[in-house]
């Protein structure tokens, strides 16, 4: 049914190799369950494989098999809450198989568009999703930050101060909203995929929109310009967005250093330094 790419699943954690080995069987069972016919080459991201399929009535769809962890386990619930409003439509979910049946979108993403259009589309999605409240089972903000010798104490203290003093809202937030995760569709021009749901403030979404396409920005001036453009397009509170950007820049800087992701660490360091002075 499918051949899993070599190296897929590396870094996912304990139990991942066994799950990867089961993926061909899981795909076969999911196709039988929903009467699906494979209709294209297997694609993969960091924690999921996606197979283009045709449903029994001939309509195109995709079968997604996802590694289940704290960040991904509530993706089906989030998609049900979005209910196709600016997001890919969930057509079916099998919890036992970890399988999602989704409407098929085009591979063309906002990453392929001019940044001005991308920011405008993201802003519209943030505005449309602001009214959706997160139910109690959705993951909540923890606010924990470990020490790291490479992170200046000033930035660690500033980020912890944000976590301690800034009340967090209860909006359904996609903390992994970025340009590659918004694809062309037929039902709507642009639809969000792969939500990583969190109960929080829409302003918490800011930082992936800054560190992605980072090289297109011209230093601090460019960073400020994109930040303000996103705040304007999404009707975000500027002070709140700056605070959560600082916190997430420091948190992801620590993660990038631990994972030996030098470019990501450098970008997070620059964003953190910018945010603490803005």
176 catalytic residue (yes or no): yes
pLDDT for res 142? 87
pLDDT for res 241? 98
Handedness of CA 24, 28, 33, 39 (dihedral sign): positive
Task: Please name the residues in contact with 166: beta carbons below 8 A apart, sequence gap of 6 or more.
Answer: 240, 243, 244, 247
Question: CA–CA separation, 139 vs 42, rounded Å?
Answer: 30
Fold of domain 110-277: Aminoglycoside 3'-phosphotransferase; Chain: A, domain 2 (3.90.1200)
Instruction: Output DSSP code: residue 215.
Output: G
pLDDT for res 10? 87
Question: CA–CA separation, 51 vs 42, rounded Å?
Answer: 5
Per-10-residue mean pLDDT of the chain, 278 residues long, equals 88 90 96 98 95 98 96 97 98 96 98 98 98 96 90 96 95 97 98 98 97 95 98 98 98 93 93 91
Contact 222, 142 (CB under 8 A): no
Question: CA–CA separation, 271 vs 125, rounded Å?
Answer: 23
List the domain boundaries for the chain. Answer: 16-103, 110-277
CB count within 10 Å of CB 114 equals 10
Which of 39, 157, 164, 176 does the annotation list as catalytic? 176
pLDDT for res 13? 83
> Is domain 16-103 classified as CATH 3.30.200.20?
yes
Question: CA–CA separation, 191 vs 167, rounded Å?
Answer: 30
Residue 38 pairs in a beta bridge with 53
Instruction: Output DSSP code: residue 49.
Output: E
Contact 212, 233 (CB under 8 A): no
Instruction: Output DSSP code: residue 149.
Output: T
CB count within 10 Å of CB 32 equals 10
**H-helix segments, 149-261:** 153-165, 208-211, 219-234, 238-258
pLDDT for res 226? 98
Q: How far is CA 162 from CA 165, 175, 189, 255, 264, in A?
A: 5, 17, 36, 18, 22
pLDDT for res 12? 87
Q: How far is CA 275 from CA 158, 206, 264, in A?
A: 10, 12, 16
In the chain, DSSP assigns E strands to 37-38, 43-44, 48-54, 60-66, 90-94, 99-103, 171-174, 182-184, 190-192, 197-200
pLDDT for res 203? 98
Assess whether the region 16-103 and the region 110-277 belong to the same CATH fold.
Answer: no
């Amino acid at each position: 049914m499918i051949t899993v790419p070599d190296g897929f699943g590396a870094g996912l954690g304990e139990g991942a190799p066994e799950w990867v080995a089961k993926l061909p069987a899981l795909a076969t069972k999911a196709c039988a369950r929903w009467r699906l016919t494979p209709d294209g080459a297997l694609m993969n991201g960091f924690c999921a494989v996606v197979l283009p399929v045709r449903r029994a009535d001939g309509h195109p769809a995709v079968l997604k098999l996802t590694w289940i962890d704290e960040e991904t386990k509530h993706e089906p619930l989030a998609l049900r809450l979005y209910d196709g409003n600016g997001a890919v439509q969930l057509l079916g979910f099998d919890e036992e198989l970890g399988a999602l049946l989704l409407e098929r979108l085009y591979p063309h993403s906002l990453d392929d568009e001019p940044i001005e259009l991308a920011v405008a589309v993201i802003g519209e999605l943030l505005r449309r999703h602001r009214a959706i409240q997160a139910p109690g089972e959705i993951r909540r903000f923890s606010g924990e930050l470990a020490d790291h010798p490479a992170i200046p104490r000033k930035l660690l203290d500033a980020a912890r101060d944000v976590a301690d003093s800034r009340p967090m809202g209860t909006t359904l937030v996609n903390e992994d909203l970025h340009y590659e995760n918004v694809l062309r569709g037929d039902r709507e021009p642009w639809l969000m995929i792969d939500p990583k749901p969190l109960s929080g403030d829409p302003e918490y979404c800011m930082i992936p929109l800054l560190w992605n396409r980072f090289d297109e920005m011209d230093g601090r001036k460019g960073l400020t310009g994109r930040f303000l453009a996103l705040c304007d397009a999404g009707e975000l509170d500027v002070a709140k967005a700056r605070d959560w950007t600082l916190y997430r820049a420091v948190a992801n800087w620590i993660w990038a250093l631990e994972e030996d992701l030098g470019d990501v660490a450098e970008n997070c360091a620059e964003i953190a330094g910018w945010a603490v002075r803005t």
